[in-house]
Amino acid sequence: MSFTNLGLRAELLHAIADQGYDTPTPIQAQAIPYVLAGRDLMAAAQTGTGKTAGFTLPILQLLSTRESLSLSRFKPRALVLTPTRELAVQVHESVRTYGKYLSLRSAAIYGGVAMGPQFKALKHGVDILVATPGRLLDHIGQRSADLSGIEILVLDEGDRMLDMGFIRDIRKIIALLPKKKQCLLFSATFSDDIRGLAAGLLDHPQSVEVARRNAPTELVTQSVYHVDKGRKRDLLIKLIDDHGWHQVLVFTRTKHAADALAERLNKADITAAALHGNKTQGARQRALEDFKRNKVTVLVATDIAARGIDIDQLPHVINYELPNVPEDYVHRIGRTGRAGSEGEAISLVCVDEHKLLRDIERVLNRPIEKRVIEGFEPDPSIRAEPIQNGRGAQTRPARSGSYERKPGAPRTPQRPSRSGFGNAAAHHNGARHR
């Protein structure tokens, strides 16, 4: 299978060639023909599968080859909703990258930055709008965004949007769209909530399911280092120093812990930046860029902020604190071991986290190798204490979700797919979905 067989126009093939891609990924091979045929789509695919190009390429083709249905050339024709600012930026970058030889206009609209430039872009006219739900509703409230010309809607990372409590915002936005439109729903997992959303939105959808491009179990070496809570920082510094690691993504449960750890690492002469939802958009982008360009050695991130981060060949992921939800562990370690390169995921686990570790092993369906480093042996007299999920925040039960989630947002843990990674299966409405 090549991109040429998918029926994409020359300008898109040219842009794809510039990227150096020679074969479509399974999700692209499955999804692109259906989207081009105008079908609604329900796609089970995670970050790392090439899903963004899977919807961006056919949307660019459809919009560039058919006349706008709307009389106004200022109204957006395609809307991509994403749960996070980072993902909005990345999707928008893809739209620009793949659409560089076409004359379609695009904009990304997300919170945490001034509205001014966004007003300007919208006023200028946009064909493809990538947006986070909250900021888009702000624009609708101010009448700067008009969704009455939308021909194609994409909900990207649908499960995350529901986890983050965006369901009401999404429903409000959908109510403003024309009845007749093509809808594409991408989600890593298909919970009852997602199915409920899909049922009301999609019309005889084609289902496409692909497993992750790389299975954590296949390409990521996982290990647990048992260590007391108060000694985690020293152990992390020792590991980085001893191995000479130059690019390490470290996860904490809370924003406060991310800030505190980044500060301490910097004091220990290990360059580090924190990435979390309290940072301004500019600071988040800068931290990510510095990390990608190896200007900082360590990026300390919370789960939601790290969602959608795409760094080729990220060698090391450290769980400084285990996530409250086992599925977040799978997402975290999925940041490494990509694109065929081997990755390493290390979890620093203290006595408080033993239950979380058992939950993770249950989801993985196998134990993780345990290690103890000399000089960092846990003190057996230390008793487990309830996990604090942030300064001043009440302790939440282990499965209630990570600290950054909106209170009350539903969270239904899903078992990761057991199917082989890189496999793809397309099937019709109502067929196998987890």
SS3 (DSSP) at 106: strand
Cα separation, 185 vs 177, whole angstroms: 15
Contact pick of 21, 74, 101, 119 for ligand AMP (by CB under 6 A) = 21
> Binding ligand AMP by CB under 6 A: which of 32, 34, 50, 321?
50
Tell whether residue 335 is a contact of ligand AMP (CB under 6 A): no
SS3 345: strand
- Mask for 51-70, x = binds ligand AMP (CB under 6 A): xxx-----------------
For tokens 């970050």, the residue is: 47
User: Alpha-carbon dihedral of residues 338, 341, 346, 347, nearest 10 degrees?
Assistant: 10
Please tell me whether residue 30 binds ligand AMP under the rule CB under 6 A. no
> Of the candidates 30, 34, 42, 48, which one interacts with ligand AMP according to CB under 6 A?
48
Q: Where is 347: in which H helix or E strand?
A: strand 343-349
Bridge partners, 80 (sequence order):
130, 154
Residue 49 contacts ligand AMP per CB under 6 A: yes
Contact criterion met (CB below 8 Å) for 208 and 43: yes
CB-wise, 291 or 403, nearer to ligand AMP?
Answer: 291
Give the residue nearest to ligand AMP (CB): 52
Smaller CB separation from ligand AMP, 154 or 224? 154
Which one of 19-27, 33-41, 199-207, 408-416 is the stretch in contact with ligand AMP (CB under 6 A)? 19-27
Q: How many CB atoms lie within 10 A of CB 385?
A: 11
Which of 155, 152, 106 is closest to 129 using CA atoms? 106
Residue 21 or residue 119: which is nearer to ligand AMP going by CB?
21
Per-residue b/e over 116-132, b at no fewer than 16 CB within 10 Å? Answer: eebeebbeeebbbbbbb
Q: Which is nearer to ligand AMP, 169 or 303 (CB)?
A: 303
Nearer to ligand AMP, 24 or 401 (CB): 24
- The smaller minimum CB distance to ligand AMP, of residues 20 and 200, is found at 20
How far apart are the C-alpha atoms of 245 and 256, rounded to whole Å? 24
Q: How many residues bind ligand AMP (CB under 6 A)?
A: 12
Contact status: 310 vs ligand AMP (CB under 6 A): yes
Q: How far is the CB of 48 from ligand AMP (least distance, A)?
A: 5
272: Cα within 13 Å, side-chain hemisphere: 26
Q: Minimum distance from CB of 192 to ligand AMP (Å)? A: 25
Q: Which is nearer to ligand AMP, 215 or 348 (CB)?
A: 215
Tally of CB atoms within 10 A around 371: 12
Q: Which is nearer to ligand AMP, 90 or 207 (CB)?
A: 90
Amino acid at 209: E
Closer CB to ligand AMP, residue 339 or residue 372? Answer: 339
Residue 300: in which H helix or E strand, if any?
strand 298-301
Contacts with 182 (C-beta within 8 Å, 6 or more apart), sequence order: 35, 38, 39, 40, 151, 152, 153
Using the rule CB under 6 A, is 343 a contact of ligand AMP? no
99 belongs to the binding site for ligand AMP (CB under 6 A): no
Q: If binding is defined by CB under 6 A, does position 93 make contact with ligand AMP?
A: no
Residue in 6, 8, 12, 24 binding ligand AMP, rule: CB under 6 A: 24
CB of 55 to ligand AMP, least distance (A): 9
> Minimum distance between the CB of residue 49 and ligand AMP, rounded to whole angstroms?
5
Q: How many angstroms separate the CA atoms of 18 and 13, rounded?
A: 9
> What residue ranges bind ligand AMP (CB under 6 A)?
21, 24-25, 28, 47-53, 310
